[in-house]
Amino acid sequence: MESLKLTPNNEPKPRTSSPFMDQQCGRYTYETLKPILIHLHEVESKLTVQNVDACLKANGQLNVELTSLKYSLREKNGLLDAYKHNMADLRESNNNIHNEIAKLNAPTETNGKKIEQLCEKYIENSEKCEKERRNQNELLTKLNNTAQELIIKSNKINELQDQIIKLQDQKTKDEKKKLEEQKTKDERKKCSPIINLPGLMPFKVLCNDDSPAGRGWIVIQQRINGLENFQRDWNTYRDGFGSFDGDFFLGLTKIHHMTFAQRHELYIYMEKFSKEWFAARYDNFSVASEKNNFQLESLGAYTGFNDNHDNFRPELYYIFATYDRKHSYCPKQPYGGWWHGSCRGINLNGEYHLLEKKGDKNYLYWEKYISLYKVQMLIRPYNSN
């Protein structure tokens, strides 16, 4: 069967397609037109001269039906073209999918190298992690060992501290016992308020039986309130000044005669502004005569109480000095009369202050130029028993 030909009034020309499509289209057209052709054949066999008009009318109706069928066929051809286009798209899509699957199933050489590099990197990182783990374990072991050592050393330190506390307690007990024994020995001693010595008129002294060092002491110098001026001349220090109920200095002449007549010990009691007390004791204290400028002739052995600084020792063998009778080895003499040997030693006749002062050698001080709250210098006859 030939392809369908329509009138030239804007009707479509025959399509060109593949043999398969022509075969399918012809079959479809034949099955559609066959009933019409059979009907035409039946009509033709019945035609007579008398029913020509009827046939013409029937033919007109058939032409109408044929036109309708042409339009229907045109629509179906359009659908067929759409199906063919969709099939082509699907075929192209399938080819693309096939190519992608082929790429995924067959990795390229570059991907193989990347995979190999990643595997090497993984192995390298695994080795580093294992090394770090070993290092961490070693460090933890060292830390544990160090912690154990610290615990052991801490225990030893605690033991040593306990021993130090025990030794300090024992030392305190020994010092208290020593003082108690000394007080017991001193119970038999008495201080006479009137002193009679050859070559001197009888003179009064201030006795102190309440000292931590026991009974029988004579106060030769006292600093307790700062009301007395200790920047005095030579004659005043020689004869003495002040009052027993405040600050005073007994006098160098009296001190010389007492320490010359018999051996005396010296006890220096001192208090800080914090009320802490300490003391220095010398078992052979003596002062020369005025002819020898009241030289500090002797101190003897030193014993410290709450302090271990023998700070009076540097003044030994030096002469006494005042602002009007200075000596050449201390031209810039500090405040007050004293045995100013090195000009940097103690100054128990220094300037008194009501508050603690630091950093000046003119202050009343025993050590490091720190001013003191209270000072007493006491002597008594030495008793070796």
Number of H helices, E strands in the chain: 5, 11
The CA–CA distances, whole Å, from 53 to 41, 42, 59, 190 equal 17, 16, 10, 184
Q: What pLDDT sits at residue 8?
A: 47
Burial class (CB in 10 A: 0-12, 13-18, 19+), 374: middle
- 106 by DSSP, 3-state: which? coil
Per-residue burial over 157-193, b = 16 or more CB atoms within 10 Å of its CB, e = otherwise: eeeeeeeeeeeeeeeeeeeeeebeeeeeebeeeebee
Hey, what CATH topology would domain 194-381 get?
Gamma Fibrinogen; Chain A, domain 1 (3.90.215)
At 151, give phi and psi (nearest 5°). Answer: -65, -45
Instruction: Per-residue pLDDT tens, the chain, 385 aa: give them.
Output: 444 444 445 544 545 556 666 666 667 667 777 777 777 777 666 655 456 676 677 778 878 877 887 777 787 777 777 767 777 877 887 778 778 777 766 655 677 788 788 888 888 888 888 888 888 888 888 888 888 888 998 888 988 888 889 888 887 788 777 777 666 665 556 789 999 999 899 999 999 998 889 999 999 999 999 999 999 999 999 999 999 999 999 999 999 999 999 999 999 999 999 999 999 999 999 999 999 999 999 999 999 999 999 999 999 999 999 999 988 778 788 999 999 887 778 999 999 999 999 999 999 999 999 999 999 999 999 987 6
Cα dist from 91 to 85, 95, 204, 286, 347, whole Å: 10, 6, 141, 133, 119
**Distance from C-alpha of 319 to C-alpha of 253, rounded to nearest angstrom:** 14
Give pTM, 2 decimals. 0.54
Compute the CA torsion angle 362, 366, 372, 374 (nearest 10 deg).
-120
Question: Measured between alpha carbons, how far is 115 from 7 in angstroms, rounded to an integer?
Answer: 70
